[in-house]
């Protein structure tokens, strides 16, 4: 055996000392103290994340004003609050301890968001080669990736084979034949239809096998020597009916039993997505009822001793409240109405072809908040605006393209704006920029981005106001009950 060189041996204590010093620096950083994770701290440092005491509309508006003043922003800009992302992850793990979240990349493939989730221990739900590549570039282990597309393009399936992706979904015999020819070694998950008809975006019409067809599909997979290891479902994006999860999990249990009868080793349950992640007026994640419903159903149909691994595919839950968008006004016009009033037209740097595609395709209704530019003189009615007492006008918010259908809202009430003022939209991290395109050659797919990490989701003033609104609402309910 060759002896170690003296130089290598002598440098070892120095190297260890440097490692200890580096470790001490990391653990003394605010990033580590806020996350408790060296990997998560590294993500925050990499993206030059600014620490904020509080987030919420007020905290983000103050940060946006500072960024406008510092950088002279004049285009669409996103502010990602990674503090919200971490709070949502911790709330998930506390509320659903048996369910490992696999972030749905399609919702928002923002690298900082994905890297933080990976550092915290999330898996990833990918639906294309590009999404698989993005996750692979972060070094995510193969057992934390599911290729959750029941009808894959052949080129994407070949990429999965060539890179060793180990898990994918299917819901037709056609897909089984495709997999058998291109990648018979991949493990399969049968997606069944169990959607909530009241969901914001029901998905069952396009994907998910009818449960009564499960035996035929599972037998077809066995005949092709393909391994089916589990069942998945998706109740629909923005699910409103808690009973949909209970019914779906019960149905999945029946399909599990059929799979075992046919000869498959069934060991994975994927409860899909449909989760929303909002904060109440006190900054707590609103997640109680849905978590209790899921935990009860899993405990009944897939108890711990069954050894079944349970995962989910939340996208909106993590992304929606993790981002705010600011868009400057760069054009305006007054239009007289038939009643003699004045209608205000404003042009924004973003529209239906950009992040506001969510209005058309996801039934979202992001609310505009006026953000006066710090680079312009202060308006006389600034105090009234902050108190919601300023005069408002019927206004239309036009997008930047030449398409006359490209408007965000018509007839929205706003105070008079100037060229250079901004509108801020909170809670726009889900299915917004991910669905944008660059129509007219106007860049809307790669907006400017900044990153913050708030210590809490709302500031004290918002918490007090929210509490007062809650008390007023409760009092009205009590009075209504007495009157009835």
Catalytically active residues, by annotation? 402
Structure token digits, residue 18: 């440097």
Q: How many residues does this entry show for the chain?
A: 484
Asked whether the beta carbons of 169 and 219 are under 8 A apart, the reply is no
Helix (H, G, I), strand (E, B) or coil at 65: helix
Helix (H, G, I), strand (E, B) or coil at 484: coil
Asked whether the beta carbons of 234 and 190 are under 8 A apart, the reply is no
* Beta strand pairing call for 323-336 and 77-81: antiparallel
CB burial readout 419-431, b (16+ within 10 A) else e: eebbbbbbbbbbb
Contacts of 454 (CB under 8 A, 6+ apart): 52, 53, 54, 55, 56, 59, 81, 83, 84
Q: Which helix (H) or strand (E) holds 67?
A: helix 56-71
Structure token digits, residue 245: 């999860």
Query: Can you say how many angstroms the Cα of residue 363 is from the centroid of all Cα atoms in its chain?
Result: 16
How far apart are alpha carbons 434 and 448 in whole angstroms? 14
Phi–psi pair at 69, nearest 5 degrees: -65, -40
Ramachandran bin of 427, using left for φ above 0, alpha for ψ from -120 to 50, beta for the remaining angles: left
Half-sphere exposure of 148 (CA within 13 A, CB side): 30
Local structure of residue 330 (DSSP, 8 states): E
């Amino acid at each position: 055996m060759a002896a170690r060189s003296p130089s290598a041996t002598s440098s070892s204590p120095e190297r260890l000392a440097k490692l200890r010093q580096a470790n001490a620096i990391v653990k003394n950083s605010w990033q580590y103290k806020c996350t408790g994770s060296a990997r998560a701290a590294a993500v925050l440092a990499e993206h030059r994340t600014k620490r904020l005491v509080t987030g919420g509309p007020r905290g983000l508006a103050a940060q946006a004003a500072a960024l406008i003043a510092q950088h002279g922003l004049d285009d669409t800009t996103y502010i990602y609050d990674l503090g919200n992302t971490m709070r949502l992850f911790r709330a998930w793990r506390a509320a659903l301890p048996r369910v490992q979240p696999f972030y749905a990349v399609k919702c928002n493939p923002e690298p900082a968001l994905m890297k933080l989730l990976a550092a915290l221990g999330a898996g990833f739900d990918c639906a294309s080669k590009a999404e698989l590549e993005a996750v692979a570039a972060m070094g995510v282990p193969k057992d934390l990736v599911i290729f959750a597309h029941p009808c894959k393009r052949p080129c994407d399936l070949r990429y999965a084979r060539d890179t060793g992706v180990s898990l994918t979904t299917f819901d037709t015999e056609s897909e089984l034949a495709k997999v058998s020819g291109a990648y018979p070694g991949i493990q399969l998950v049968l997606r069944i239809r169990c959607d909530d008809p009241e969901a914001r975006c029901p998905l069952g019409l396009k994907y998910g096998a009818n449960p009564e067809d499960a035996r035929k599909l599972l037998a077809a997979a066995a005949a092709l020597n393909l391994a089916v290891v589990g069942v998945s479902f998706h109740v629909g994006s923005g699910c409103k009916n808690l009973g949909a999860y209970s019914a779906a999990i019960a149905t999945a249990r029946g399909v599990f039993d059929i799979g075992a009868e046919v000869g498959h080793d069934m060991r994975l349950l994927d409860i899909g997505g449909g989760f929303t992640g909002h904060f109440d007026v006190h900054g707590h994640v609103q997640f109680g009822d849905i978590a209790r419903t899921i935990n009860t159903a899993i405990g009944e149909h897939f108890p711990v001793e069954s050894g079944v691994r349970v995962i989910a595919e939340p996208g909106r839950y993590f992304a929606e409240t993790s981002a705010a968008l600011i868009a400057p006004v760069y054009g305006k016009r007054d239009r007289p109405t038939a009643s003699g009033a004045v209608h205000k037209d404003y042009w924004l740097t973003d529209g239906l072809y950009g992040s506001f595609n969510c209005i058309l395709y996801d039934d979202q209704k992001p609310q505009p908040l006026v953000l006066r530019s710090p680079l312009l003189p202060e308006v006389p009615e600034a105090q009234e605006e902050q108190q919601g007492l300023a005069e408002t006008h019927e206004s239309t918010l036009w997008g930047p393209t030449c398409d006359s259908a490209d408007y965000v809202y018509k007839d929205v009430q706003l105070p008079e704006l100037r060229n250079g003022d901004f509108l801020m939209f909170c809670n726009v991290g889900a299915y917004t920029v991910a669905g944008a395109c660059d129509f007219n050659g106007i860049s809307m797919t790669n907006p400017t981005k900044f990153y913050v990490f708030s210590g809490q989701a709302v500031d004290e003033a918002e918490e007090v106001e929210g509490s007062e609104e809650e008390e007023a609402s409760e009092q009205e309910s009590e009075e209504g009950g007495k009157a009835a």
